[in-house]
């Protein structure tokens, strides 16, 4: 039988773990049961349409695209083995493509949590650790730049006269990001306190550690995670959450998609479009909560 031969091959030649072999056995047995339920069909007579129909049956049962792709991968492996060992005349699974995996929607900070973060926490205006942390968080939240981009900033990249920042992104591409009045004020206060209390940084980094060294990505991550934990219970509390929050807030307040694309430094607007899904989902929740007949299926 094809399945038994394939599993022996996995055990002896591929030296697969017992757990892997067990998983393959479960998947392939399920596939074989589906095939057997069709009149006059067996693993040797399966064609591409049957494989696609089997995938469709999994999707109809509510299986995720990721789960179906893993199931299909096992079937593909079995038929590659079977074709190589002349157990079938053709590989029916080879042309079949798995369902597209739905990208998870970006996680973002709610505006009320952002207000708590910047306005309600007991920030001390005379302590460099507090001033640096709040300024860094505000920088990420109001500009949407990446963690690597903020650690790469130097004093010379900040233009207080024009209220803008020169950001160096992926593949060394540079873009200009506007700076709001609140960030501009916070940044000037931070830089003054930094120069008073911290050792001078040799390469004139904008955000520096207590030792006077350019802050690392890990330090930024730890700082963001620490303070986001104080205002939200979200599992994900990374600097990228603040980037997502920036984009979502911009679109929620009528910014054009192309403008947000440029501010984020995305090469393609398709990358930015995922945030429109976020705002639409938020819009649906508002509608469901606010409209008096939103939950009445008979009036949809």
- pLDDT tens per residue, range 5-27: 999 999 999 898 889 999 999 99
Enumerate the β-bridge partners of residue 176.
166
Q: Whose CA is closest to 92, among 76, 108, 103?
A: 76
Let me know: does 145 contact 207? Beta carbons within 8 Å. no
Within 10 A of 1 (CB to CB), how many other CB atoms are there?
A: 11
In angstroms and rounded to an integer, the radius of gyration of the C-alpha atoms of the chain is: 27
Give first-to-last CA distance, the chain, whole Å. 53
Q: Whose CA is closest to 224, among 160, 145, 126, 127?
A: 145
Q: How far apart are CA 273 and CA 257, in angstroms?
A: 7
Domain with CATH 1.10.150 in the chain: 2-84
Let me know: does 207 contact 191? Beta carbons within 8 Å. no
Let me know: does 93 contact 72? Beta carbons within 8 Å. yes
**Where in the sequence numbering do the catalytic residues fall?**
146, 170, 240, 243, 266, 275
Pairing of strands 174-178, 158-159: unpaired
Place of tokens 């920088």: 139
Up-side HSE of residue 254: CA atoms within 13 Å toward CB?
0
- One pLDDT digit (tens) per residue for the chain, 300 residues: 799 999 999 999 989 888 999 999 999 999 999 999 998 889 999 999 999 999 999 988 888 888 999 999 999 999 999 999 999 999 999 999 988 876 666 788 888 999 999 999 999 999 999 999 999 999 999 999 999 999 999 999 999 999 999 999 888 889 999 999 999 999 999 999 999 999 999 999 999 999 999 999 999 999 999 999 999 988 889 999 999 999 888 887 778 888 888 889 888 877 777 777 656 555 566 556 654 555 544 433
Let me know: does 118 contact 138? Beta carbons within 8 Å. yes
- CATH number of the domain located at residue range(s) 111-289 in this protein: 1.10.443.10
Residue pLDDT, tens place only, 1-10: 799 999 999 9
Within 10 A of 287 (CB to CB), how many other CB atoms are there?
A: 10
The answer to pTM > 0.75 is no
Q: Which uninterrupted H or E stretch holds 164?
A: strand 164-168
How far CA 248 is from CA of 169, 223, 230, in Å, comes to: 20, 22, 21
Name every residue whose Cβ is closer than 8 Å to that of residue 106 and which is 6 or more positions away in sequence.
244, 247, 248, 274, 275, 278
- CATH number of the domain located at residue range(s) 2-84 in this protein: 1.10.150
Q: How far apart are CA 149 and CA 169, in angstroms?
A: 6
Q: How far apart are CA 264 and CA 244, in angstroms?
A: 10
- What sign does the dihedral 138-139-142-145 (CA atoms) show? negative
Q: How far apart are CA 283 and CA 252, in angstroms?
A: 9
Q: How far apart are CA 264 and CA 167, in angstroms?
A: 10
Q: Which uninterrupted H or E stretch holds 243?
A: helix 239-252
Domain with CATH 1.10.443.10 in the chain: 111-289
């Amino acid at each position: 039988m094809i399945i038994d031969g394939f599993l022996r091959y996995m055990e002896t030649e591929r030296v697969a773990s017992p757990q892997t072999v067990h998983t393959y056995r479960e998947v392939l047995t399920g596939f074989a049961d589906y095939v057997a339920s069709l009149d006059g069909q067996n693993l040797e007579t399966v064609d591409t349409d049957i494989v696609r129909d089997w995938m469709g049956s999994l999707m109809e049962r509510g299986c995720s695209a990721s789960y179906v792709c893993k199931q299909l991968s096992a079937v593909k492996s079995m038929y590659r083995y079977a074709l190589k060992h002349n157990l079938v005349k053709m590989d029916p699974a080879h042309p079949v493509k798995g369902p597209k995996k739905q990208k998870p929607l970006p996680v973002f900070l709610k505006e009320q949590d952002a207000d708590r973060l910047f306005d309600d926490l007991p920030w001390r205006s005379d302590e460099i650790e507090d001033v640096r942390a709040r300024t860094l968080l505000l920088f990420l939240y109001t500009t949407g730049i990446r963690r690597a981009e903020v650690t790469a900033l130097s004093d010379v990249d900040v233009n207080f006269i024009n209220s803008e920042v020169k950001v160096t992104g992926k593949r060394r591409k540079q873009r200009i990001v506007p700076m709001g009045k609140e960030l501009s004020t916070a940044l000037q206060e931070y830089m003054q306190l930094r120069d008073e209390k911290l050792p001078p940084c040799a390469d004139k980094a904008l955000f520096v550690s207590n030792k006077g060294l350019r802050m690392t990505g890990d330090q930024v991550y730890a700082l963001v995670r620490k303070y986001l934990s104080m205002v939200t219970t979200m599992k994900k509390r990374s600097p990228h959450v603040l980037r997502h929050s920036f984009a979502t807030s911009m679109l929620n307040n009528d910014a054009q998609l192309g403008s947000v694309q440029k501010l984020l430094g995305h090469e393609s607007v398709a990358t930015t479009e995922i945030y429109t899904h976020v705002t639409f989902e938020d819009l649906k929740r508002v509608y469901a909560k606010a409209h008096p007949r939103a939950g009445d299926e008979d009036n949809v």
